[in-house]
A = this chain, B = another copy of it.
Amino acid sequence: MAAIHPLDPIQPQEIRNAVLLLQKRFPQATIRFKVIDMFEPPKNEVFAHIQMGKKPSGSSDRRAQIYFHRDKSSVMSKAIVNVSQATVEKVEDLPDVQGPVDLEEWEAVHDACNSHPKVQEEIAKLRLPPGAKVINDPWAFGTDNVEERRRLFQCYMYIVLSDDPESNHYSIPAPISPVFDANTLELLWIDRLPLGSGSEADQETQPWLPTKPIEYSASILGDAYFRRDLKPLQIVQPEGPSFSVEKNIISWQKWRFHLGWTLREGPVIQNVTYDGRSLFYRVSMSEMTVPYGDPRTPYHRKQAFDLGDSGFGIMSNSLRLGCDCLGLIKYFDGWRCTSKGEPVLMKNVVCMHEVDNGIGWKHTNYRNGETSVVRDRQLVIQCTATLANYEYILAFVFDQAANLRVEVRATGIVSTMPIRSGIHSDWGTVVAPGVLAVHHQHIFSVRIDPALDGQANSILYEDCVPLADPESDPFGCAFKVQSNTITKPGGYELDLTKARTYKIVNSAYHNPISKKPVSYKLHALPSQMMMMGEKGFNRKRALFATKPIWVTKYGDDELYAAGEFTNQSREDTGLAVWTKRPDLVSDEDVVLWHTFAITHVTRPEDFPVMPHEGMSIMLKPSNFFESNPSNDVPRSSQAVHHSARL
């Protein structure tokens, strides 16, 4: 396995080897594997040689991280297995945490719920028409009790009226939610869902009142439903793509980076250089949480952590040619494991392609009409994660002006609850007959581990404030840029009234033109932070969601904003802990975290599938280069583009 780069995603043979090694360590045990993934090497093992663009020297061992259960124990264990040295480096039992949801457990809970006699009894009371059936989405239980130690799932149930593979059962939510213990597959209780504007639910399940679901399935909708005036638009790249790929190392337009992938995060951008200069060690989606704003039981528990509870990688779609992107597409696969530890190929979980994003820059000499136009060609690394009803499209977008953008498109089907006809609710919008979509927040954390011209970086913020000095500024037109270096780990605020901008700087290097320290600035997305009160679990579990900017000293294995284990977590074990250390963070190996969000007040227009809601943040050079990095991009011309005038 010498050819595997230290940062490469886990390989099937590594999964097999790790499984054998762990089995050898516990020869008597029956092991149920939950997650086997690549365990990233300590940064100092790999930084120097990968930043220099050298091939991995073999000095860095390949390791796997395994979450597993022994002999049906309810306690999850974690192992670090060194597959290069064929040793189990660490095993730890974790009695106090719940691991993420795994697919087989999820299926077991789903089946247990659907087939349980008590649940069947309730379903019978619905008196569904012949052919109708009921299915359920087991949800991570959330947290409403610090004493809870069972592994719980709340199952939200939906009625399926059609055999069509895309029939929209989310348009027909059923009024009950059974709660199961995933370890014992025991039904613990059945929550009845409130159907009115108040918090009370019916005492008894009532017969279902037939409603026509709102469908998105093309076959159900039928040909006549569709608009007919959309003409094809195709992307043609006659000379091939502008990128080159050497396993997971991508080169494109002076960018060079390693494209990693994990079950938790999906694509991970590592070891990023531009024109040979180091920019970032690692850029990744770190966590996200979706708290719902409905106080009524059982909805008060609805708070998904879509990375920590499940994972953007493991939930990734197999992408399809001509659907998810246009043009010339390079796909990347991933690997997961079964509960027996067998590797499972996840085909096409990441795609890479180029996009034309309109005009990149332009100037016309108005004296003579001479014009230079450069188009904004971009390289897009993209995945789609399906979290039950909902989809996130995560993209890392590189451009020719040395900007790196992280974009999330929220789409899919909003989480639906039943509501009685004619009733309306303060907590959401009726998006279809009998369907309430509760208002909620989506709160994301992107982790940026910078390495601007080296590892010793600082984070500072700049405020633009009026000079307000009548002596030197008699006309009151001047403003100054105040710079403040962050010296302590912690959470920090944006301030739009000052156009506050956070920058990553390397104070050891100065731009030869401007004489200012080299930097990349964060174009943050100012947004409403988590609304939930200080005492609530929603907030305690996700401190990252309360401030837009976080700064920590780099620590190996500190990748996830809310901590490693979020499922049924009682508190944040990530930033909440790491920011309490009295670390030095200026001119150090520092990490910048950005929290951004949308508060989604639902609309009928979001149903059945919602048009994407886009969010995007950007890392932009500032005093890093001596001039426009895209000044050398060939000018846009008809000879190349073959456009046509109408």
Most chain-B Cβ atoms within 10 A of its Cβ — which of A217, A238, A462, A514?
A: A514
Does A472 reach chain B (CB closer than 8 Å)?
A: yes
Chain B residues, Cβ within 8 Å of A475 = 144, 295, 300, 536-538
Known: A327-B644, A328-B645, A605-B629. 4 other contacts (CB 8 A): A144-B475, A331-B645, A355-B358, A360-B612
Does A188 reach chain B (CB closer than 8 Å)?
A: no
**Residue on B nearest A169 in the bound complex, by CB:** B365
The answer to whether A477 and B532 touch across the interface, beta carbons within 8 angstroms, is yes
**Residue on B nearest A167 in the bound complex, by CB:** B365
Which of B515, B603, B604, B632 is in CB contact (< 8 Å) with A221?
B632
CA distance A241 to B253 in the complex (A): 31
**Residue on B nearest A468 in the bound complex, by CB:** B533
* Contact-size category for A: 35 or more
**Chain B nearest CB: distance from A340 CB in Å?**
22
- A-B interface, 7 closest residue pairs, ranked by CB to CB distance from nearest: A322-B638, A476-B536, A401-B611, A295-B478, A295-B473, A476-B533, A499-B599
CA distance A536 to B645 in the complex (A): 48
**Chain B nearest CB: distance from A403 CB in Å?**
7
**Residue on B nearest A422 in the bound complex, by CB:** B515
The answer to whether A633 and B327 touch across the interface, beta carbons within 8 angstroms, is no
A641/B326 contact (C-beta < 8 A), A165-B368, A611-B403, A632-B227 known: yes
Chain B residues, Cβ within 8 Å of A480 = 293, 426-427
**Chain B nearest CB: distance from A200 CB in Å?**
12
**Chain B nearest CB: distance from A385 CB in Å?**
10
Sampled A-B contacts (5; CB under 8 Å): A232-B237, A291-B477, A364-B384, A431-B627, A497-B529
Interface hits, A351-392 → B, CB 8 Å: 354-356, 358-373, 375-377, 380, 384, 386, 388, 391
**Residue on B nearest A165 in the bound complex, by CB:** B370
The answer to whether B465 and A531 touch across the interface, beta carbons within 8 angstroms, is yes
CA distance A231 to B236 in the complex (A): 11
**Residue on B nearest A500 in the bound complex, by CB:** B528
Interface hits, A607-630 → B, CB 8 Å: 607-612, 620-630
Which of B321, B331, B477, B643 is in CB contact (< 8 Å) with A536?
B477
CA distance A345 to B625 in the complex (A): 42
A526/B528 contact (C-beta < 8 A), A364-B386, A365-B165, A632-B221 known: no
**Chain B nearest CB: distance from A471 CB in Å?**
10
**Residue on B nearest A327 in the bound complex, by CB:** B643
CA distance A2 to B400 in the complex (A): 50
